[in-house]
Structure formats: structure tokens, C-alpha cells
Amino acid sequence: MRIIISLLLTVLLTSACDAGQDEIKKNLESRFPGIKIDSVSKSLISGLYEVVVDGDHIIYADKDGKYVIDGIMVETATKRNLTQEKIDKLTVVSFDSLPFQQAIKIVKGDGKRRMAVFSDPDCPYCRKLEPELAKLTNVTIYIFEFPLPMHGDSPRKSRLVWCSADPAKAWDDLMLNGKVPEGKDDCENPVQANLALGEKLKISSTPSMIFSNGKVVPGALPADKVTQLLDEAEKK
């Protein structure tokens, strides 16, 4: 009998919790027409709920969904950014499932460590990252050419690189030395497929690095930081 009562209480509490979270979702959707709420769950702060919006954005709401906070939650004792940790989990990529045939492959040293980079030829931050990547050793880098809409000539440059006799060398010459490849750009290429892939992975800015543990890191970083992330990925 005690077991049955215990099970009933668990079901009732769970149902009440779900009902409360459904109410938050309903209230937020009524106040923000068109918003896509993926999940609502309790946060570590009593009375505050974690709401996942549009797949990878975190906001926090009260129990009635009347108030929202758009910002980060930090655990003061450890200085952990709990919001970013959740976003990292939501955006993790299955590295080995990436279509590497659509990427320019650059191997340095034994190539043991692996990473992918979504990069735009005319992106200033991508050009800032390239000299740092050039400093890396024992790594295989997969460059997914990802020309952004605001850079009108990037698609052409991306195609010229891909259509060249040695795409890896052509990419380095372009990004490190500013040398645009000569020749034709009408060969079969993966540029449009890469744009679709980026949209699927919710990559909207360049450069965006993906490490072998699936962690996505946007922006240009110094070589020592990239090395640290490579080593962390290999351990996992």
C-alpha cells in the first residue's frame, strides 16, 4: 500500500509540475506571438524557470510567465556560466557526421587532432583567425567555405578556391596573403550545400569552429586557446 501511495504522489507531483510549465509556455507564447518555445524546466533558482527558445537561446521566466530575464546565470561559488553550459549542450554537433567531402582538408604534422571551421573569405575575423591556425601543429583542419550574404564577392572567391588545382594551398594563399585564385569558378562545388549545412547547425557567424567533441566556438581565438580546446576535445 505504501508503495502504491508513493507512486501516486510521484505521478501527481509530476503532473502538477508539467501543468505549471505548460502554463508558462502558454503565457509566453500569448505575450510573444511567433515565439518558438522548445522546453521549460526548473532552474537552480527557486521560482525561476529556464526556457529554451528557437533551439539554442535561453531566457528565464517566473512561475506564471509574466516576467522574463534575458541574460546569463552564473554560479558565484565556481564562477560557472550555467547559461553558456546549457547552450553548449544544445548546440553540440556530431563531429564525425559532418560531410567532410564538402570541406577543404588541411593537415599539419600527424593530423591527429581534428577541428572544422566555417569560414568566409571576406570576413575580417576569419582573416584574423587564419594566422593563428597556421601556428597549430598535429592537427587536421576542415574548412567549410561559408560566404555570408553581406560579402557580395565571397561566393565567387569560395568557388575559385574550390575549383583550383590545390584548394588547400589556394585557401592559405587567399587568407594569409590576399592572393585571389585565378581560373574558373564554374566547377561542381559545395558552397550552397555548406550554407544549408550551416543553417541546419544554427551557425550564423564566421568564423565558427567545431571541435571533435562537438563543441561549437564562434569567433577568432589565439593559437594557444585553440590548442587548449583541441586538447580538451581529444580527452573526451
For the chain, what are the domain ranges?
Answer: 2-91, 95-235
Range 108-123 average pLDDT: 97
Give the pLDDT confidence score for residue 3 in this predicted structure.
Answer: 47
Per-residue pLDDT tens digits for 6-23: 433 333 333 334 447 888
What is 95-235's CATH number?
3.40.30.10
Helix-helix angle 154-163:191-200, to 10 degrees: 120
Per-residue pLDDT tens digits for 78-99: 999 999 889 888 888 999 999 9
**224 vs 137: CA distance, rounded Å:** 11
Spatial contact of 143 and 164, defined as CB atoms under 8 Å apart = no
Range 130-152 average pLDDT: 96
Give the pLDDT confidence score for residue 2 in this predicted structure.
Answer: 52
In percent, the amount of the chain with pLDDT more than 70 equals 91
Neighbours of 197 (CB within 10 A): 18
Q: Which residues, in sequence order, are CB contacts of 170 under 8 Å at separation 6+?
A: 160, 161, 164, 181
Give the pLDDT confidence score for residue 89 in this predicted structure.
Answer: 86
Domain 2-91: homologous superfamily in CATH: Disulphide bond isomerase, DsbC/G, N-terminal (3.10.450.70)
Per-residue pLDDT tens digits for 159-203: 999 999 999 999 999 999 999 999 999 999 999 999 999 999 989
Choose between 161 and 5: higher pLDDT. 161
pLDDT of 46 strictly over 70: yes
